[in-house]
Amino acid sequence: MIRVFPRKTKWTPTDELSFVGDPQLWRPPIQPVYISCAFTWDKKESERLKRSWLRFYQDVRIGGPAYDDKGDEFVSGRFLKEGVTITSRGCSKNCPYCFVPKREGKIREYPIKDGWVLQDNNILACSELHQRNVFEMLRRQTKQIDFNGGLDPDLLENWHVKEFETLRVRHFWFSCDTPSSIGPLERTADLMSDFKQWQKRCYVLIGFNDESQREAEERLNRIFEMGFLPFAQLYQNDIKTSWSKDWDRLQRKWCRPAAYKSRRSVI
C-alpha cells in the first residue's frame, strides 16, 4: 500500500512506499493509495492530493483522524514511523476540547506491538492487565522509552511509578489542560519526585474557554515550579484558529525550555 501524507512531521514514515505531497517522477507499481490526514485543516490539501494521485492510480482513498476514522488494530510502520506503537484507542473521558472521544469512542485495547514511543491517547485508562503487559513489552526495548501519547495525572498510581523505575525512560509526558488540572498534577509531582525535571514534560493547552494570556502564563509558571517542563499548545477546533501575535509569542516561548528557563515572568 502506498501511503501519502499532506505534510511531513517527525512521525511520518520514511520507507519507499511513503510519500509527502504529489506523485514523484519515480512511482511505485500500481497498488492501492491511502492518503492519511491527521488535521481537519489539511483536508482541502488531502482532497487535492487525491485528484493528483488519481492521475496515475485507480484506487485512491482518504482517511485518518481528520475524517473521524475510529482507528483499528495498529500496524507498525504503516502510518507512523518505526518505533512508534499504539496499544489502545479511545479515551475514558469526554473533555470538551478533545476530538478523541468523538472520533474513537471509549477505550479499546488491542494486541500489543513492540515499540519504544508509546502513542496511546490514555494508556492509564486501560485495564491493569493490559498496562502491565505494555510495561513488560517496554522492558524488552533496547532504546529509551517515550510516553509520547501522554500520562493522565488523574489516573497515576504508586504502582505505575514502580513500573517506571524498571524502564529506561527518556521522557514522560503528562497533561495540564485547564486550571482544574493543577491539583492532580501536584499529586503527580509528589509521586514522580525521584525523576529528573528534564524527563518530566507536560502538554499544556492554553487559550481554551476564554483563558487570558496572564492566566495561561501563570499556569505555565506554576507547572514549571512543580518540576515539569511545560509545552504550550494553543487551542484549535475543527477550523484552524488564527491567534494574535501575542498568543503566538507566548506559545513559542513556552515550547522552548531554554527560552522560558531564562526569562520566566507573568505578563
E-strand stretches of 28-68: 33-36, 60-63
Give dist(CA 108, CA 122) in Å, integer.
Answer: 11
Give dist(CA 147, CA 135) in Å, integer.
Answer: 11
Q: What is the mean pLDDT of each run of 10 residues along the chain (267 residues)?
A: 96 96 96 95 96 98 92 91 96 85 88 97 97 98 96 97 98 95 97 97 95 96 97 86 91 90 59
For residue 174 the three cell numbers come to: 503528562
List C-alpha distances in Å: 138 to 64, 159, 206. Answer: 26, 16, 32
For residue 114 the three cell numbers come to: 513492540
User: What pLDDT is attached to residue 263?
Assistant: 65
| Verdict on whether the full-model pTM lies above 0.75 | yes
Give dist(CA 112, CA 133) in Å, integer.
Answer: 8
Cα torsion 110, 74, 133, 196 to 10°: value is -130
User: What pLDDT is attached to residue 239?
Assistant: 72
Nearest to 67 by CA among 35, 98, 94, 91: 35
Nearest to 176 by CA among 155, 205, 151, 135: 205
User: What pLDDT is attached to residue 255?
Assistant: 92
Query: Using one digit for the tens of pLDDT, what is the confidence trace for 99-139?
Result: 887 888 899 999 999 999 999 999 999 999 999 999 999 99
Domain boundaries of the chain, sorted by first residue:
2-65, 71-262
User: What pLDDT is attached to residue 260?
Assistant: 86
User: What pLDDT is attached to residue 236?
Assistant: 86
**Options 1.10.287, 3.80.30, 1.10.357, 2.60.120; CATH of 71-262:** 3.80.30
Please calculate the CA angle 222-234-181 and round it to the nearest 5 degrees: 40
